[in-house]
Structure 1
């Protein structure tokens, strides 16, 4: 973008290399050169000599904070913020440090600025916020950091362009699909009545064009939609000689419900890496359609996809382009882990040679152990390339200074909290503990009340049970008294019946006999 200067210190304050490969330190003449070189020691010395921490350089009208965000000097940026640098100061074009970080894709610096209260809704002289600029330059991870901070993505510039319009116009597919995922409308028009799909067709960004069509409610209607000049996407493609758009509209049949097609539209770089299509991958990345460290829905980068299939040529080119091999997906896997899982030994060997900073979780932090500060994980920006060159020794020193600062601040915090408590102050931790104690006491009282209620209820039920038992015993006695006379009467009746039966048998036998007369 015009107006953004190239990084690096001025020629009068650069560092020279010795034949052995070590760099010789030089003394910088201005605070801006020290920040651009990432030399926090000289930065502090220059400020101690009385130079203003918000001094503006004559050429670019940048403050030291602008230069820190520009070059990705995270340590200097933290130092400047800690010592009261003005985070709201803008250049002649209206750019704050957050605008510069968005343009350069310095996501680590952007995160630091957001934590320190940077206003992401500030607009420059064209009405652009940092969101617009990150979408313009295709820095999707920086864009995601800003979206997660809660900034409104529907702010418009002077042309009524939203970030989604910039992403479509410049062919930034990764930013476009990220904005759509966060709920940005793709059916909003600018001051000329152009939809984002019009802008993609106008510039011939076929991947963005397909993706936008796949996300519209009615693709046929989107193709027929007219802007304020009475032009639809076909008219714009013809006027600007975008043959790829014309061929797609006129010849290709659009299948909206194909899930594989949807994945290709959303993450064409990942698909190219998965298939080993190096030419397509080169075109997508070199044309700025996607970022080389672009994440898909599973958090995987193109390097993960290529590693999973063992495409060595793709991996070599991705590594050469400066991709980060330490990024993990949602499963916590690095590209080398994915290659191991699929037993691609050549890919494993290639990728493991890059990971020089893996930390052993069993090792504890030892500030006197130099090796701990040599081993390190992901650092700096995943969007921007290494604008600020620091050798391993400089990085190790910076990590040691940062860790010692953490220890010092923790100690000071403990002292301050102790003094505050002795003076009768109540800390947030005390308030939290008091609140938890009150809630616990309330819960205990409620449980005790419920226990007392259950005890009384049990006693009542036991009394009722005793009454029922007594009543059962009384009924049982009454029943026994009723049953005894009945049994006696039954026995008498049965004896009578048996005697009658005997007499009846005797009669039958006698009546059946034969009498013989004797002479």
Structure 2
């Protein structure tokens, strides 16, 4: 009994900073001392704790073991590889799932840790295991967030070792969608070279192109369009990419899409029948100018009878208003409630210069 107390006292005083981390005790998130040691790449502490009776398969409040903790560390910490090896030598269950059905290999893939993934696969980790969202390690590797972001080498390794490239999660998304959404152009390029269907959609009607456009990533958009992505493809809400805020804010991206056939007069049902020009007056005057030059209908009405000039007056952009008026916008046009652009400007108190300009051009 005395030896046990001495062991506990030793651990409390010399191994761990807080007494709640002693043997049998749990701290925040129900983590044991071993969880903390594995999480903090403390190899010698991990060994000492295991040698003194800590269970390598003990779970914290999220259902994660010390192996989950060690696997989910950044690749530039060398000791985490040794910790992973050591824990498995001591009986850590390699395919154990946490409360969200995530395994250690998913954690490693999430942070782009190729070294740990190589060890786990070598020891028998199930590469195509899914968590409760239907994601596999390949999904996480393709959208990884650590130093391995865009780590095509990691993705290639998983596929070469049996990862299913076309596996879909609960949202109908493949790793290809994840790569496009996370702007990982090297991985997107790799998937394209593997023959992936660039227009494959998730359950919401989003293709990889929609994700890339939504992120405003011109390089990924170019790659996808050059490989067959449809620029006017609609998602389940009836939206096309040219109406996305991130697109309209990026004049280079708008130009690219229009040059490749994007419909500048697309009407968006989800936004009351507005067109890209209705949206652009709130976002980017250069885009307004380009859309007009590209054939956008100046006096197109939305479901409330409002034209882009109504929207420009509401936004307070005098330059956008001048661009519209100079190109034929009808200043006296009324919406379904009988309000003109001038009424909008006065109601919103958008400034005397703007109001004066509209009055002069009635």
TM-score, normalised via structure 2 length: 0.57
Superposed displacement of residue 71, structure 1:
2.2
Q: 2:144 matched to 1:32?
A: no
Q: 2:344 matched to 1:236?
A: yes
Q: 1:181 aligns with which of 272, 293, 298?
A: 293
Distance 2:202 2:317 in 1: 32
Q: 1:81 aligns with which of 178, 189, 192?
A: 192
CA shift in 2, pair 1:187/1:49, >3 Å: same
Superposed displacement of residue 43, structure 1:
0.8
Q: For 1:40-88, what per-residue CA distance to the aligned partner results, in whole angstroms no more than 9, with x for missing partners? A: 1221221223322232345x65322222222221111111011122322
The secondary structure found in structure 2 opposite 1:224 is: coil
The secondary structure found in structure 2 opposite 1:177 is: helix
Structure 2 residue aligned with 1:160: 273
Q: 2:213 matched to 1:213?
A: no
* Stretches of 4+ aligned residues off by more than 6 angstroms: 251-255
CA shift in 2, pair 1:142/1:122, >3 Å: same
CA shift in 2, pair 1:47/1:189, >3 Å: same
Q: 2:314 aligns with which of 185, 202, 219?
A: 202
CA shift in 2, pair 1:57/1:15, >3 Å: farther
Kept in 2: contact 1:135–1:143 (CA 8 A): no
Q: For 1:124-147, what per-residue CA distance to the aligned partner results, in whole angstroms no more than 9, with x for missing partners? A: 233110111156651221221111
CA shift in 2, pair 1:201/1:26, >3 Å: farther
Structure 1 residue runs without a partner (length 5+): 1-10, 256-519
Kept in 1: contact 2:231–2:261 (CA 8 A): no
CA shift in 2, pair 1:231/1:238, >3 Å: same
| Matching of residues 451-490 of structure 1 within 5 Å | none
Distance 2:191 2:176 in 1: 7
Superposed displacement of residue 154, structure 1:
2.2
Structure 2 residue aligned with 1:105: 216
Distance 2:71 2:232 in 1: 37
Kept in 1: contact 2:331–2:358 (CA 8 A): no
Distance 1:119 1:52 in 2: 25
Structure 2 residue runs without a partner (length 5+): 1-69, 79-111, 118-135, 144-148
Q: For 1:24-43, what per-residue CA distance to the aligned partner results, in whole angstroms no more than 9, with x for missing partners? A: 85546711222222111221
Q: 2:159 aligns with which of 30, 34, 47?
A: 47
Distance 2:162 2:326 in 1: 59
Q: For 1:402-441, what per-residue CA distance to the aligned partner results, in whole angstroms no more than 9, with x for missing partners? A: xxxxxxxxxxxxxxxxxxxxxxxxxxxxxxxxxxxxxxxx
Kept in 2: contact 1:13–1:33 (CA 8 A): no
Superposed displacement of residue 160, structure 1:
2.5
Kept in 2: contact 1:167–1:175 (CA 8 A): yes
| Matching of residues 103-142 of structure 1 within 5 Å | 103-133=214-244, 137-142=248-253
Kept in 2: contact 1:135–1:175 (CA 8 A): no
Higher relative contact order (CA 8 A, sep 6+): 1
Kept in 2: contact 1:198–1:232 (CA 8 A): yes
Say what the alpha-carbon RMSD is for the aligned residues: 3.0
Q: For 1:443-484, what per-residue CA distance to the aligned partner results, in whole angstroms no more than 9, with x for missing partners? A: xxxxxxxxxxxxxxxxxxxxxxxxxxxxxxxxxxxxxxxxxx
Kept in 2: contact 1:136–1:166 (CA 8 A): no
Distance 1:148 1:140 in 2: 12
Superposed displacement of residue 230, structure 1:
0.9
Structure (1 or 2) with the larger CA radius of gyration: 1
The secondary structure found in structure 1 opposite 2:186 is: helix
CA shift in 2, pair 1:45/1:88, >3 Å: same
Distance 2:349 2:139 in 1: 44
Kept in 2: contact 1:56–1:63 (CA 8 A): yes
Number of residue pairs matched by the alignment: 234
| Matching of residues 16-27 of structure 1 within 5 Å | 16-17=75-76, 26-27=115-116
Superposed displacement of residue 234, structure 1:
2.1
The secondary structure found in structure 2 opposite 1:51 is: coil
Q: For 1:123-177, what per-residue CA distance to the aligned partner results, in whole angstroms no more than 9, with x for missing partners? A: 1233110111156651221221111112332222213322222212x32223222
